[in-house]
Amino acid sequence: MNKLKIWFRKNWSTALLFSIFIVLLVSPDAKAWLMRQIVSTGLLNSRIEKKKTEGVIENFSVRNDKGERINTSELNGKVVFINFWASWCPPCRAEFPSIQTFYNQYKSNKDLVFLIVNLDDEAAAGKMYLEKEQFSVPFLVPEGSIPNVFFNGSLPTTVVLDKSGKIRMHHTGMADYSKNSFYEEINQLLIESQ
């Protein structure tokens, strides 16, 4: 026992780092917190691209918890923010508070549509996560297959469509959507004509 005390006195920092590593390894919330700190630096953020004239406009359908169907092809004239996420995904959890902040800022803007698409195997798990964290973003699930131009299997993935339905941002991985620089880009899209 005495040898153990001596080892801890000499190696307390190693023991502390090892303990932190174990917590990060087993706790999705701890991983999300650490990732949130990283994403808040803005280094991982994507930028909205300049308007392109070419490009194929893909249709994608989602369904809300009332069973109502929303097609992206019916959203012409609106800017569309699409986020693919799952409750078990630590990077998704890390960026979700910024998505909620962004949603709160723009939810009353009728020219901006939020498609927050849950990809949990059981939709109830995603719904429970939103309720537990008190997030009020729209809860949607895919209706049919998701075109590869929107989602290639990596979570989280975020896509922004302009008013003509063209992809202007496609970002794989976590990002902070609560930054003024992102709001400025969204505002620019909102004033662009089709």
Tokens, residue 112: 């901006």
**Average pLDDT for residues 55-75, to the nearest whole number?**
88
Distance between CA 14 and CA 67 in Å, rounded? 53
This prediction has a pTM of 0.78
Sorting pLDDT into bands at 50, 70 and 90, what band is 53? Answer: very low
Q: How many residues does the chain have?
A: 194
Could you say which DSSP state residue 97 is in?
H
- Of the candidate CATH numbers 3.40.50.1010, 3.20.20.70, 3.40.50.1110, 3.40.30.10, the domain formed by 1-194 belongs to 3.40.30.10
| Domain chopping of the chain, boundaries | 1-194
Beta strands in the chain (DSSP E): 61-64, 69-71, 79-85, 112-118, 140-142, 157-161, 167-172
Q: Across residues 51-65, what is the average pLDDT?
A: 75
Q: Is the predicted pLDDT of residue 141 greater than 70, yes or no?
A: yes
Higher-confidence position of 55 and 187: 187
Residue 22 has pLDDT above 80, yes or no: no
- Give the model's pLDDT for residue 2: 82
Between CA 102 and CA 114, with CA 94 as vertex, the angle to 5 degrees is 30
Arithmetic mean of pLDDT over the chain: 87
Query: Could you tell me which residues come within 8 angstroms of residue 83 by beta carbon, excluding any fewer than 6 positions away?
Result: 99, 114, 115, 116, 117, 156, 157, 158, 159
Alpha helices in 42-122 (DSSP H): 90-106
Give the span between the Cα atoms of 5 and 105, in whole angstroms. 53
Mean pLDDT for the stretch of residues 34-63: 68
pLDDT digits (tens, 9 = 90+) for 86-100: 999 999 999 999 999
Question: What's the pLDDT tens digit per position in 98-127?
Answer: 999 999 999 999 999 999 999 999 999 999
Provide the H-helix boundaries in 11-47.
Answer: 12-26, 28-39
Q: What is the token pair recorded at 125?
A: 């798990």
Residue 56: pLDDT above 90? no
Q: What does the pLDDT look like over 161-189, one tens digit per residue? A: 999 999 999 999 999 999 999 999 999 99
